[in-house]
Amino acid sequence: MTSASAPAKKTVKKTSDAKTSSKKSTTPKNTAAAKPASIQFSAKVIDPVKHATNALVVAAYEGLKLSPSASSIDAADAHQLTALLKREGFQGKAGQSILLLNPQGIAAERLLILGFGGLKDGSVSVENYRRAVQKISEALKPTPSSDVTIALGEITVTDQDINWQARQIAENLGQLEYRADSLKSKPAEISLQLKKVVLGTAKDQVPNATKGLILGQAIAKGVNLARNLGDLPGNICTPTYLAEQAKLLAKGQAKLSVDVLEEKQMKELGMGSFLSVAAGSEQPAKLIVLEYKGGNKKDAPVALVGKGITFDTGGISLKPGPAMDEMKYDMCGAASVLGSFRTLVELQLPINVVGVIATTENMPSGAATKPGDIVTSMAGLTIEILNTDAEGRLVLCDALTYTERFKPKAVVDIATLTGACVIALGNHATGLFSNNDDLAKSLLKAGEESADRAWQLPLWDDYQKQLDSNFADIANIGGREAGSVTAACFLSRFAKKFAWAHLDIAGTAWRSGGAKGATGRPVPLLVQYLLNQA
């Protein structure tokens, strides 16, 4: 049996660009991370008729009821607005929208009317509000607006205040700060280049609305970082690149420190499981450790543990070719940890949070781990690797054991762990597993509140025996049945010393097909969970 089992590496000097380091690099530069645009959000009292802006957004409700702002525009226009909406069949249903160019009687250059659906006791439902807000960027995308004014402060939403409304707007429109075309030699021609967003509210709402805008934009910045890192290809976003991004996050931040453990240190720690995944790769593996200290010294931290496989070929248990490119997204757990820390530093939240990212490629090579190999994890448990494509659990188990040293009050790991989770839940819900009911409840609640939902699956002992091995303490796969559950069962063996939850984001972290791209999930859920702790 190999102990801390990574076989000796070839003598290739490994840098972030291992094979081309002496020549001019042909790898394109990611400019999105270098200079992210920032939208300026503010809340103030506006006159919808006289306010000069590139685009003004107003509300209508089912049955063609106009909001106060929309009514005053209608009155300024000899009621031509109502006539026009009728003619176009606009009824104010949730999700409906109509964009008018060169509207008459008002100072705005464009007028976007959004449908918010039916009113119940004078209020709009949370779902309908979110749907309408999502329409803003969609509807304005073809226009060259840079300054947008949103006269929606007058809406009441069931059980929510202006802070919440403002947050939705900034969380949504703030995502326009990220563009996925940074690696095209000529950026795609997108007209909308938002620079300034004004939320029109009543005077006494301004302070609360401003807070919501700040919170929403901070979440958007975290989501954008997670999306950017996810979308970057494996030849740019290597373990070394992720480590550099973590250090960049901590630069000039008094509350955040970052430490990067190299393979040599991991070997000394006995991380034979993690290193067995890195064995086939030319890129050096890294264990990235982030510590955010915003709370009291003696407060136990929450720990976020991310799977950071920057490319998952499957290793010797090689994956089939179709859609294999999407395995660049196998570091989205790590990206969600970095994204959450981005939001944490932006908001300077008064809590303690630890981040642990286990990052490597999973590659086949002469040095790669083979099916049947047995390795020893940091916890001392021996593992029979029956399938080298079940590598996420192999890196996470050692990261979980490492996390024990922080004496965390809760540990949440985030991983694109199993294809089976995509089959079970599709791309709507993240799979949640936990050894602690209170923690599970808090995460489910945070998911509901942030519209980034998770759904709990069982972690019963009944499933554990699927991981029995004839030759080692545990096997790394549990057969075809309940693949997501047995993956979580594997992790649970290494999470006995703390309250722990596992988020399987294989279905939610990115979209496939024509709209291929990282979603930034579950940053909203994680940030909401941390906010609820603060």
**For residues 284-311, b (16+ Cβ closer than 10 Å) or e, as one string?**
bbbbbbbbbbbbeeeeebbbbbbbbbbb
Residue nearest to Mn ion (CB): 389
Q: How many residues does the chain have?
A: 534
Binding to ligand BES (CB under 6 A): which residues in 501-530?
506
Which of 445, 454, 36, 31 has its CA nearest to residue 217? Answer: 36
Q: Which stretch binds ligand BES (CB under 6 A): 130-138, 235-243, 366-374, 415-423?
A: 415-423
**For residues 395-415, b (16+ Cβ closer than 10 Å) or e, as one string?**
bbbbbbbbbbebebebbbbbb
Q: Which residue, chain included where needed, has tokens 């086949």?
A: 364
Q: Which residue, chain included where needed, has tokens 């939850």?
A: 501
Give the helix/strand (H/E) hosting 456. strand 454-456
Give the helix/strand (H/E) hosting 360. strand 352-362
Binding mask 273-312 for ligand BES (x = CB under 6 A): ---------------------------------------x
Residue 416 interacting with ligand BES (CB under 6 A): yes
Residue 332 interacting with ligand BES (CB under 6 A): no
Cα–Cα distance for residue pair 72/525, rounded to 1 Å: 39
Partner that binds at residue 422, options Zn ion, ligand BES, Mn ion, none, CB closer than 5 to 8 Å by kind = ligand BES
Q: Which is nearer to ligand BES, 263 or 391 (by Cβ)?
A: 391
Q: Which of 231, 361, 384, 391 binds ligand BES (CB under 6 A)?
A: 391
Q: Which of 284, 392, 431, 447 binds ligand BES (CB under 6 A)?
A: 392
Residue ranges of alpha helices (H) inside 96-205 are 126-140, 162-173
CB of 512 to ligand BES, least distance (A): 9
For the question of residue 393 being annotated catalytic, the response is yes
Give 109's DSSP letter: S
CB of 522 to Mn ion, least distance (A): 20
CB of 309 to Mn ion, least distance (A): 7
Binding to ligand BES (CB under 6 A): which residues in 474-493?
477, 483
Binding to Mn ion (CB under 5 A): which residues in 339-398?
389, 391
CB of 335 to Mn ion, least distance (A): 17
Partner that binds at residue 482, options Mn ion, ligand BES, Zn ion, none, CB closer than 5 to 8 Å by kind = none
Neighbours of 443 (CB within 10 A): 25
Q: Which stretch binds ligand BES (CB under 6 A): 197-205, 284-292, 370-378, 410-418?
A: 410-418
Number of alpha helices (DSSP H) and beta strands (DSSP E) in the chain: 15, 20
Cα–Cα distance for residue pair 48/196, rounded to 1 Å: 17
CB of 41 to ligand BES, least distance (A): 35
Residue 312 interacting with Mn ion (CB under 5 A): yes
Q: Which stretch binds ligand BES (CB under 6 A): 151-159, 214-222, 386-394, 431-439?
A: 386-394
Residue 387 interacting with ligand BES (CB under 6 A): yes
DSSP per residue, 302-328: EEEEEEEEEEE--TTSPPPSTTGGGGG
Cα–Cα distance for residue pair 411/144, rounded to 1 Å: 45
Q: Which is nearer to ligand BES, 187 or 458 (by Cβ)?
A: 458
Give the helix/strand (H/E) hosting 340. helix 332-347
CB of 207 to ligand BES, least distance (A): 44
Extended beta strands in 54-195, E state: 55-61, 65-66, 97-101, 110-115, 147-150
Partner that binds at residue 387, options ligand BES, Mn ion, Zn ion, none, CB closer than 5 to 8 Å by kind = ligand BES
CB of 389 to Mn ion, least distance (A): 4
Partner that binds at residue 503, options ligand BES, Zn ion, Mn ion, none, CB closer than 5 to 8 Å by kind = none
Cα–Cα distance for residue pair 448/222, rounded to 1 Å: 18
Catalytic residue selected from 179, 227, 393, 521: 393
Extended beta strands in 246-336, E state: 256-261, 286-293, 302-312
Task: Give contact residues for ligand BES (rule: CB under 6 A).
Answer: 312, 330, 387, 389-392, 416-420, 422, 477, 483, 506
Residues marked as catalytic: 319, 393
